[in-house]
Amino acid sequence: MILLFRRVDRLFNSLEHYWEHKHTERSAANVLIFVFIGTLALIELRRHGVLPDAVAAIIPSNHYYAINVAFSMLLGLEVLGFVFSLSHSVADSIGKQFEILSLILLRHSFNEFVYFNEPLLWAEASKPLLHILSNAGGGLLIFLMIGVYYNLQHHRAFSQNHVVTAEFITYKKLVALLLLFIFIGIGLSDAYLYLSGRPTFDFFALFYTVLVFSDVLLVLVSLRYSSSYQTVFRNSGFAVATVVVRLALSAPPYFNVFLGVGAMAFAIGITVAYQSFEKTREAK
């Protein structure tokens, strides 16, 4: 078991170091720029009928789809960042989940543009505009609430025993690596379905479903080291917030914003209650 922990720790640290390197960050940004411009070019070529039929069949004809592609890849990068944040703090990883949700709502706003013809006409924009404003407004509200959430955080050591703390962190790294492999597997499967012309699934909804189980797993693992009521309630409550976020991803317009903002408010409430418990305990 000790050998396994060492290998997990070494592998995770190597991947995290590579991911957080400035060169990787610039390379990822360059890829996003290339994909965005390349998608626009392919759409334009399809509109002129110069692409082979097999390629044209999987290329949309609306230029606004290029925004969707670029934003989807950006969200994928954010999900990778979330995976690596999982080992640092449970509270911070939950905050990262809401950061991704706020970006997903903005992506939904951009998705509404695909229903517009080119050039854009006001007569076609009335109903989609309400959805755009709802999703964008919800994303902004969650963005503001995330700032409140992070300001409330006062990180404390999981245990005064450094060995126990290190072991728990290694368990979180193991879960993070499993999520990373699942993330890559889901992405490759979705890409294969799209390229083969078959219906794809909602990548982010499926990934958040996996997060629900990973959050519950971490709650159970934490019981090995701490069974205090406030810690168990906080971690379990965060898992409930993830469930609500998952529901928000499949909810219709307006309800998705309501659920997302409600989940964020619930996470803030849990944080306030947990901090109050901790201050009371320290005062004794």
25-28 contact pairs (CB < 8 A, 24+): 28/77
Instruction: Extract the residue ranges of the chain whose pLDDT is less than 70.
Output: 1-2, 115-127, 155-161, 281-284
> Residues 9, 166: contact at Cβ < 8 Å?
no
Residue 99 has a pLDDT of 93
The sign of the torsion formed by the CA atoms of 249, 254, 257, 261 equals negative
Quick one: tokens of 96?
């990262």
Task: State yes or no: cis peptide before 119, omega within 30 of 0.
Answer: yes
Q: Which two tokens stand for residue 66?
A: 């290029």
Greatest extent of the chain over all pairs of C-alpha atoms, in Å: 76
| Alpha helices (H) along 112-228 | 122-152, 162-195, 203-222
User: What confidence score (pLDDT) does residue 269 get?
Assistant: 94
Q: What is the CA radius of gyration of the chain?
A: 21
Q: Which pLDDT value is given to residue 204?
A: 84
- pLDDT the model gives residue 40: 92
Give the burial class of 104: count Cβ atoms within 10 A of its Cβ; 0-12 exposed, 13-18 middle, 19 or more buried.
Answer: buried
Q: What's 238's DSSP letter?
A: H
pLDDT for the residue numbered 121 = 64
